[in-house]
Amino acid sequence: MPLMRVALTSGAFDDTQKARLAAALTEAACRAESVPDDPGSRMRALVLFEELGPGTFYSAGRSADAAVAGVFIDWQVSTGVLDGARKARFAQDLQDAAVAARAGDDSRLVVTSCVIHEVPEGQWAQNGAIRRLPEVASLAGFEHLSSIR
């Protein structure tokens, strides 16, 4: 059940590019979490975009709005869903998704970063209830965690 809050640098992605990026991030996160490719499971994969305003992104103390197409993610995931290999694959998929979303526009350097927040057991509330990993695994259909259902 991927939940990604994505900050984008000002003007780096138009609406079409954002749609491509959202689709690619959803696919990458679902692959990392082993969410099956069916609408019932994938409907819980959420991407929330926030675009930084002009003059709010700096690198080396200087405005970098015009130079960088940045994709910065805070990803909430239940502890125990991702191992090191899944995280590493997502990191590469994230970079590939950001580059592909810009569709060959090389006017800005594409920079990605993701902080994975592993939510401890019993600390994720959703739709009025605390969701525990066995329930989350069943709801999302995590293929690699089917034995804990």
Task: Say whether pLDDT at 138 is over 80.
Answer: no
| CATH number for the domain that contains residue 93 | 3.30.429.10
CA 53 to chain centre: 21
At residue 55, the pLDDT reads 95
Q: What is the pLDDT of residues 71-103, one digit of tens each?
A: 999 999 988 889 999 999 999 999 999 999 998
Nearest Cα residue to 145 out of 34, 67, 10 = 34
Spell out the residues 6+ positions from residue 31 whose beta carbon is closer than 8 angstroms to its own: 89, 90, 93
Task: Say whether pLDDT at 149 is over 70.
Answer: no
At residue 139, the pLDDT reads 62
Q: What is the pLDDT of residues 97-137, one digit of tens each?
A: 999 999 889 899 999 999 999 998 888 787 898 876 666 66
Number of domains the chain is built from: 1
Domain span holding position 19: 3-148
Whole-structure pTM value: 0.85
